[in-house]
Structure 1
Amino acid sequence: MPQNRFERLRDEEEKDYTLRSRSEILAVLRSMIEHNALMTVYFNQGQDFMLSSLLQLAADGRTLVLDVGSSAEMNQRALAADRLICVSNLDKIKIQFVLNGVDALQFEGRPAFLANTPEILVRLQRRDFYRFVLPVLQSIRCSIPFKSYDGGLQPIEVNVIDISAGGIGFLSKSESLGLSTDMLLENCRIDLPEIGILTVNMRIRSLYEVTLLTGARHERAGCQFIGLTAKQEMQLQRYIIKAERERKARELGMS
């Protein structure tokens, strides 16, 4: 599973998070090199990816060198790709940029890739929320209305696997739900134990397949709450604080 997931910007975020200044872009790239920041490189429309890092930035700032991946086959696919999306994290800030193809070269006696410096770079620094990962015995259900074959709405229940005041992550057994990135899910009902039902709108920000220990395959969706009220955020925080206290109490009881 990729360490860094590519994230699409909402229209209202693009201005705030996109760097177009050459000097600012070069400063971020140099910092990535100094910190040896690991990055995930996606290509072939996101079907393939490899782990890499930036090795050198040219003195004139026009080109950069990045490390090859561990798989020779993936390296060949990367060389054939005309668009590669690089995603990394630097000081808890997500970095994203696009390379318009790479060429092979030798760098300090080992294989590497050469690419033109990106003209645009995204620095995603959003408000951080504490994310509570739900233990198996503390499962939460979320009911999401989906259109049925007759045109009506049919609620489908999914398992919530993590929750914060910013959103939830859930697992879905069925690919027939037709989930997609940026999909808006309206009037979702989250049952918070001892707190009550929370009715929220949320948008899918990430979506990928995971394989459980049992071998079963599920879709894992990461969702962001949309238009959450102050009261709802307070209810979420109350639940998370309570659930975290209970988790710590169980751990102390087992020690």
Structure 2
Amino acid sequence: MAFMDTQPAPMDALEGIDPYAAFRIESPREVLALMRQLMETATPIHMNAPGGVSFATAIWTVDSASQRLAFQAELTNPHLQALVESDEVTAVSYLDAVKLQFDLNHLMLVRGAKSCALQAQMPRRLYRFQRRQSYRVRTLERSSPVALLRHPALPDIQLSLRVLDVSIGGCALWLPEDMPPLAAGLTLHNVRFELDPDTRFNATLHVHHISSIQPNARGARLGCELVKLDGNAERSLQRYIDQTQKRRRLLTVG
């Protein structure tokens, strides 16, 4: 599975049989708990609509009384209006090794004096898909995980970008606004990853998408695919992912 597979899985039933019934959650309590978890962890959510419309955001508030969600939004995003006008919007997100997918109904744009938000009805159901091939984990800030690379247009400039999350298939990097921009579609060669003292390797990156998930964030989130990992690098990365998952579970229990 490609990293950051933000496209929804097809939900069409086959001859009246729902092939995804085993993955469906319809308990209001469970749905609410997962929405709150997405909000509290500021987990990126990718909204998709027909025609290739895509929008990266995060849950701002969860209102259990009114059964409404509010999502972060920026008026400057060219896809925002198309999402509001669409009758078919599907959200995709990830909680570590689990892909969550749910429909968003009654989407509307709410404007304030200094900000705006997207509101939608609380989903009545969602689907959980366990990813067996590519586990994605949020990195631990205390280890200062970075990706070091030369800017393709300015080879004399070396960028040191914070690694936000990673899997065997790819990663998300944070590009501060004071650094030279990078465009989606770029392939970056000889990128040096330093995730912790024991996990360091070189790889090629393909930049798939660029987004901002916070209204006041001063920078951009780069969703990248990791390509051409050699065997040693892949084993080292897999150990890092396994150890990070264990540490996060301990932090949650604590």
Given the two structures, how large is their TM-score scaled by the length of structure 1? 0.52
Distance 1:171 1:39, change over 3 A: closer
Higher Cα radius of gyration: 1
Distance 1:188 1:92, change over 3 A: same
How much is the aligned-residue C-alpha RMSD, in angstroms?
4.5
Please list, as runs of the form range in 1=range in 2, the aligned pairs for 1:81-100 lying within 5 A after superposition: 92=129
Distance 1:68 1:248 in 2: 33
Distance 2:143 2:188 in 1: 24
Paired amino acid for 2:218 = R
Deviation per CA, 1:5-39: give whole Å up to 9, x if none.
569xxxxxxxxx9x9xxxxx8959x969x98xx97
Distance 1:207 1:39 in 2: 14
Please list, as runs of the form range in 1=range in 2, the aligned pairs for 1:55-134 lying within 5 A after superposition: 69-71=106-108, 92=129, 128-134=133-139
Which position in structure 1 is the counterpart of 2:233? 232
Given the two structures, how large is their TM-score scaled by the length of structure 2? 0.52
1:156 equivalenced with 2:193 (yes/no): no
Q: Which moved more, 1:221-230 or 1:42-51?
A: 42-51
Which position in structure 1 is the counterpart of 2:79? 46
1:177 equivalenced with 2:180 (yes/no): yes
**Contact (CA 8 Å) 1:132, 1:240: kept in 2 or not?**
yes
Distance 1:127 1:175, change over 3 A: farther
Distance 2:191 2:104 in 1: 44
Which position in structure 1 is the counterpart of 2:141? 136
Paired amino acid for 2:192 = R
Moved over 6 A (4+): none
% identical equivalent positions: 18
**Contact (CA 8 Å) 1:39, 1:52: kept in 2 or not?**
no
Distance 2:87 2:205 in 1: 33
Which position in structure 1 is the counterpart of 2:30? none
Q: Secondary structure of 1:244's match?
A: helix
Q: Secondary structure of 2:157's match?
A: strand
Shift of 1:72: 8.0
Unpaired segments ≥5 residues, structure 2 = 25-45, 55-76, 90-102, 111-125
Select the structure with the greater relative contact order (CA < 8 A; seq sep ≥ 6).
Answer: 2
Unpaired segments ≥5 residues, structure 1 = 8-16, 20-24, 55-65, 74-88, 94-125
Distance 1:135 1:211 in 2: 20
More helix by share: 1
Deviation per CA, 1:137-167: give whole Å up to 9, x if none.
3431111211465xx3321011111011111
What is the number of residues matched between the two proteins?
A: 175
Q: Secondary structure of 1:165's match?
A: coil
Shift of 1:226: 1.0
Paired amino acid for 1:229 = D
Shift of 1:69: 4.4
Which position in structure 2 is the counterpart of 1:98? none
**Contact (CA 8 Å) 1:175, 1:219: kept in 2 or not?**
no
Distance 2:235 2:181 in 1: 32
